[in-house]
Structure 1
Amino acid sequence: MQTDIEHIREIEGVSQQGHGARDPVVVASWLRCLDKHGLDPAARAQAYILPDAALRQHRQRSEDLIRIARSGIDDLYKLVAGQNYVLLLSDSAGVTVEYLGEEAQKHDLRLSGLYLGAEWSEARAGTCALGACIETGEPLIIHQSDHFDVTHGGLSCTAAPIYDTAGRLAAVLDISLLSSPVARASQFLALNLVRQTARRIEMANIMAESRSDWVLRLAGSPDFLDVDPQAALRLDAGGRVIGMTNGAARLMARALGQDWRRGTGLIGRHVSEVFNLDLDTLEGLTRQRAARDRLIETRDGYRLFAHAIEPRRAAPPQVARARAIPSELREFAGGDPAMRSLVERAAALAPGRMPLLIEGDSGTGKTSLARLVHAVGRRGPFVTVACDSLAEDEAAVLFGRGDPRGHVPGLIDAAEGGTLVLENIEELPPRIQARLLPLIGEHSFRPVGALRERVATARIIATSHGLAGSGLRADLIHRLSGARLVLPPLAKRQDIVALASRVFARAFGVPVAFDAPAAAALANHDWSGNLHQLAALAQMLAATCGSQPGSGITLGLAQLSPHLSPHLSTGDAVRSDSPAILHHLLTEHGWNVSAVAREMGVDRTTVHRQIRRYGLSRAAPSTASRGSVFRPRA
């Protein structure tokens, strides 16, 4: 067995001569480690495991691939688990995003780097199967002393690349041993297993993406064409290649005289440029004919059996069902038509990740609506930032700070996986606005003093009194304006009397009603302070009027009039044509139009005409109508 000194001297010899007795793949990797990465063969490097936050970002970017690869890697691990192999799936940066290994070996595996979150890029770990596979794009074995770093001399690693349908390296699949037989040939079977699994994962990926396109699957044998094809192409309706497995990329590149590693040069080529067939003959390659009769030939004379899979027909259009509005949002809307329309849009936007802008005057409930959107659509923390409290030099409070000893988190990190609310975003200092652009547009941000950007998983909700004429950057306004909710002032809400009943009931601790003149006073007041002003009035009257525990209370014009304007007489109430008064009377009378007409002193047709004019409708019973109270926020 080679000693550490002998290993270092062998690498130095390769450096001087430019070649060696080992596999050319190993020699080329050693030279890259020396010349490209500047690594020292005499230095012992410990395994590097990414911090949890950084690992989560890598796994989130790879979650679609992990989901598709799950079945394939589980099956592969079952085949090799009894022989003490550990399975690693890395992303294109060499970071292990999925890991399967024996629990009894967990400690030793972590120390050696065969573990979740370990980075195996060539620049970090030297010659290794994962890193060399990323560099070359080829399946390979790095066995024991093939490794550049002497600390990895006991490992035997076998890896194969996984490509996306655009021809880009997406991941690397690796199976490794802490200790193995001395002979390198002992891993040839492992190499074939890993290569086959990677090919099947690529096949599953292209089939998942091709539900509405032609797929041309290819194999050298008709018997395995349908069960285990070697390559596949995804074709658009015009016969042009819009996706491929790596096996298909190699076929195309050879026929076209190109480099298969440059996948972008293959996408968009017509299938007739590669094979002796055209779009019209694809239908003859479906299962309607026996597999042995579906023989095609590439332009460079390579013969294959083909299986063309037709696009799935679009399902007949279905009548859209009304979106179910969560009870929390129904309560927030109350009985106002404009608010019902607004919460329907909020419910549709709640599950997504796109930034949301909520506008409205002070006290209309912007932060309350943001909290409800978060509760309906997401899990995780709910973090609010008062933008007017941040100074120009306090960007680190929001974005965190890069530090040689590790990232110092900010409020964006605190909201990871949840919602970050930027209250009164128009008050944000200009320099911080500029740093905010990538967060809103690309879900990424750069901590103060850091060299690299970080991925943000928090959903961004901004609130504002109004962006028109504000000091907010135009490009930031454009990015925020795609999903916009505008809360109406309290004075324009048609359910103001019912809303006031709920707010007053919370302050008094008992049900509260209003006589007709008091209701008219509430409906005709300007409410410049919106819900804050309404809540303050309720608390003041509760402190001065009092109530009997367990009993309700009816407030009249005498109690409200000194605090509201304009002052109304008793006779003004029923003569008002305010939609809020009409809504209140309809609710009070259980939508008995005749009773409302009698109280207003008009005929029934007038009431019906006003109902249509104001767009009033009888709201379904909700928790709001059973005495629950809306809690006003900014």
Structure 2
Amino acid sequence: MIIQASNEKGGGTVGGEKTSAGDIASAWKTFISKAQITEVVRPEIAHSWQRCHQAGVDPFSGVSHLILSRDQLHALLTKKRNLIDIARPFMSNLYRFVKGSGFIVMLSDEQGYMMETIGDSETQEKASELNLIKGASWQERVVGTNGIGTALAMAKPIQVSGAEHYCKKVHSWTCSAAPIYDEIGGITGALQMSGPSCKTHQHTLGMVVAAVKAIEEQISIKQRNRELTLLNNRLNNIVLTVSDGIIVTGKEGVIEQVNPAAEKILGKKGPEITGSLIRDYLENAAKIEELLDLGKSYKEAELQVTAHNGSVPCLSSGKPIRDEHGSVSGAVIFINPLHKIKNLINRFSGAHATFSFKDIIGKNKQLLKAVDLATLAAGNNSHVLLQGESGTGKEVFAQAIHNHSGRRNGPFIAINCGAIPRELIGSELFGYEEGSFTGAHRGGRPGKFELASGGTLFLDEIGDMPIEHQVALLRVLQDKQVTRIGGNKVILVDVRIICATNKNLPLEVAKGNFRQDLFYRLNVMTITLPSLRNRQDDIPLLFQVFFREICQKNGIPVPQADPRVISTLQHYSWPGNIREFQNILERMINVAQGQEIGLEHLPEEIVSYRPPSGSAQEIMPPSPVDHLKNNKIKIKELLEENERQDMINRLLLYHGNVSQVAKEMGISRTSLYKRLKRLEISMK
């Protein structure tokens, strides 16, 4: 069925036949009196009349009595501010075509509440008589068939003229309305143009529909702009807050934008950096050229960044920016100082110290003397040498020194020199570059010196370090820089060294197993830790503390202990020291199963232990210090012999040139001649 509006008063066409305003008026009267629909009524109008009849709308009214309060209207206008602002220019443009002809243009929300009107003042006065005003509802169920109400009910455009309105008071009006859809396909409002029914024209509805299409397009554009703005703000917030330095460049490598992290790394403010070439700041030109010229990304490359205070080693990644055609138009480059990455690795890999001086238990005089020395060592950056038997707590002391030093916020890296295979210890300490040996990780790997930079490196069992690596270690200590295996780049390191050994290093030097110059370099502050057999007075306190800790760890009540147990423990020699003591206590607790700890829970070797006959000094295994005293003369002779041989080697190297030898040793010729005389070396 084809339906067309007519310029006859309130008329139209149904099934291709013209209808007059009088035919529609007669059909309206028939429906109101008999609830019957005649053929002259368009189907959409007929369906609307039926809905109004079922809703109980008064056909002789036509005045809206559903009006929002002032606060409700204010809330509605605030909520729909975006739609009103977008629609108002189009409403004004639409009104310009009908200005002075008795028409008004109206905007409602999706519920039919009027939000905005533009039109002739005389027409607006007539409209106000019907409460066709802001805040009034013009839904079908309130005022019957009308432009806005019916367009919203049908969810499509419609023109309602004259007696097609369900309520008689509106029969003098013609209304052309169309629903407005938002960006997700839901109805958000309706636009209507109303005027005298005698001026009904078929083009009026077309004008309204065109205006609605323009409003919907503008809503979509504004939404896309809003989404782009939100996306841009999110990206900006990410760029501004991310810890990595971010540099954005154009096609030619000119820096266009940097974030605060990049400003901090480069040591300059954004305006000083933008406009410069990225090549002025990143030394690896090949990577940058491939990125900008070929669009080739790179990831986690180590490169030097030129900052205001020198070169900064960084880990960098770069990705090209491509336009809509896929061509490279610039690049985004990320830089992150290596020291920050190393600190992060150390933080999550457990490379930090947990013990402090309060964790060192005991009141023994020798122990307290060691603690005093360690406290003094914590106050400076000098290297520390910890001497003591296995299990005496050398790493606890090392961690305590670190935690009470100015490096407490830096990493604490521990490495056992005796537990690493000889062929791997160099790569562990100094790192390596990619491809430096079979099995090397891709991209290389930093060594312990790099990871410990800014903190402390604890070299446990330093006496077991192979002699060939001692030379490299000495050079690092002297120059404070490392070069990775297979590389040629010098890396500055700031590391405090704490060494530990259970060997007699002077004796190892005398035997030729440990370099004398390295020993002198490390032996700045020597702290000797007493063995447990020399701390028998601390055993009751140690028993009490460790006994309680072990029970709490295992979630069991602390049982009673026979006093004879502690006495027996005090008379044992403890070759394994504190470590053995803790293990014995844990074994006793597990064997007792909650019962009172008695002698029967002690291992047989402790219960049956009898010190060898002789003095107290004789029954104790010699400590490194005791051994040194007993062999003092022998050590002195060996040292002198080593020194004599070293001097002879130097003279042979320089073909007897005393001046060259003195210069190489950093002493005067006079001092050298005195040393030659003392060593009984003749130049004749």
Same fold by TM-score, threshold 0.5 exceeded? no
**Which structure has the bigger radius of gyration?**
2
Identify which of structures 1 and 2 has the higher relative contact order when contacts are C-alpha pairs closer than 8 Å and 6+ apart: 1
TM-score, with normalisation over the residues of structure 1?
Answer: 0.38
